[in-house]
Structure 1
Amino acid sequence: MTLSALELTQLRKSLRKQRRQISRFQQCQSEQAVLNRLIRLPEFQHAQYIGLYLHAFGEIHTAKIIQRCFALGKTVYLPMICNMNQRLVWAVISPHQYRSKRFAHHRLGMKEPMHNRGLHVTKLDLLLMPLLACDHHGTRLGMGGGYYDKTLASAPQQPFRLGLAHQLQLLKEKLPRQTWDQPLDALLTPQQYLRFKR
């Protein structure tokens, strides 16, 4: 059964609330469990250029993942919103920049790298994406701005799209998929890894 527009609005509100209520201890456990699964994936092992996000709204935390990427010699990119077209570009970040927290605060509430320009998403091998919800078909429900969808619409092949989620964000119900919605290749939670046909 697919969710209606009203149910979708209520779901967004409910999941935002549930995500914010996850305790710091639970977040720490979830982050470690996701990292333990991630480092075993061939898509991660073979990736050199990895797009990540800085957690800000209760998503799966990414600090340990970013630090592991640096330790393995992988290149880490963080998203910046391009105000001209409302798409994301990807700015490389060094371990020093990350440790010294050289980030700008965006009006939407998240932090961005302090860069003048970024790369197109197709330059990445692997993209780790935040989300509000995902179903068992790889349909991703984001925060509502459509930034990832607009960005990935121009990148049908590359990179590999991996959503990170708490178990409560994996839905039994089927999410409605609009023509502009960009599905995931896979989803990783603390408990499981799901691969989808895109």
Structure 2
Amino acid sequence: MPNSLNTLRKTLRKQRRALNSFQQKQAEQSVFNRIIRQPEFQRAQKIGVYLHAFGEIHTGKIMEYCFVHGKAVYLPMICNMNQRLVWVQISNDQYRNKRFSHHPLGMKEPMAARGMHVSNLDLLLMPLLACDIHGTRIGMGGGYYDKTLASAYRKPFRLGLAHSFQLIRQPLAREPWDQPLDALLTPEMHILFKRKMG
């Protein structure tokens, strides 16, 4: 299985990077139109968001909407001591002026600040490479989200954002440490999963 998983990762990475800016804008708009109608999003006050860096669904519109509607936006920062993510609140001003630092892995992070534990968030928007129809999520391979969510059973609500081709119809192998999603949102659909609470 590891071999086919590596192949799947490689294929989806390539497919994601091949999207042009028009396709990305369309996908972002469709996902945005769907997410603002979701009760989990409407109720949430503290929202964890990712900064797109590798062809994921873009999150700019969602963040702008949150700032306008008084929702607190938090970005992940890798804690080098334990390889887990902590969540740092950012302001509209920080976002617009792109005041971020560059992580060696290629993504942008909030400037060094004290972050909070993921369980303090109401909603977590998660990037992914693939997700199956049972909510099994495959990330970029670093395991940061899995390690971080292992100690947060009930909160936050875990919502994966994905391009349509990232939804895999056949079940993906789920390892004991894999942290499943509560729901998936693509430009075409919204799928709710039944996650077993620990």
Common fold: TM-score over 0.5: yes
The residue correspondences of 1:108-119 to structure 2 (distance < 5 A) are: 108-119=105-116
Residues 131-188 of structure 1, C-alpha deviation per residue, up to 9 Å, x if partnerless? 0000000000000000000000000000000000000000011111000000000000
The residue correspondences of 1:111-190 to structure 2 (distance < 5 A) are: 111-190=108-187
For the residue of structure 2 that corresponds to 1:134, the secondary structure is: strand
Q: CA deviation at 1:116?
A: 2.2
Residues 18-44 of structure 1, C-alpha deviation per residue, up to 9 Å, x if partnerless? 000011000000000000000000000
Runs of 4+ in 1 over 4 A off after TM superposition: none
Distance 2:88 2:112 in 1: 7
For the residue of structure 1 that corresponds to 2:168, the secondary structure is: coil
Residues 107-130 of structure 1, C-alpha deviation per residue, up to 9 Å, x if partnerless? 000000003210000110000000
Q: 2:64 is matched with which residue: 43, 62, 67?
A: 67
Amino acid at match of 1:191: E
Residues 65-96 of structure 1, C-alpha deviation per residue, up to 9 Å, x if partnerless? 10011111100000000000000000000001
Whether 1:44 aligns to 2:69 is no
Q: 1:23 is matched with which residue: 11, 20, 24?
A: 20
The TM-score, its normalising length taken from structure 1, stands at: 0.98
Amino acid at match of 1:33: S
Distance 1:24 1:101 in 2: 20
The TM-score, its normalising length taken from structure 2, stands at: 0.98
The residue correspondences of 1:87-126 to structure 2 (distance < 5 A) are: 87-126=84-123
Distance 1:116 1:8 in 2: 35
Aligned twin of 1:78:
75
Distance 1:9 1:108 in 2: 18
Q: Please, what is the CA RMSD of the aligned residues?
A: 0.5
Amino acid at match of 1:121: V
Aligned twin of 1:57:
54
Report sequence identity in percent. Answer: 70
Distance 1:161 1:115 in 2: 25
Amino acid at match of 1:188: L
Alignment: residue pair count: 195
Distance 2:72 2:2 in 1: 39
For the residue of structure 2 that corresponds to 1:145, the secondary structure is: coil
Aligned twin of 1:196:
193
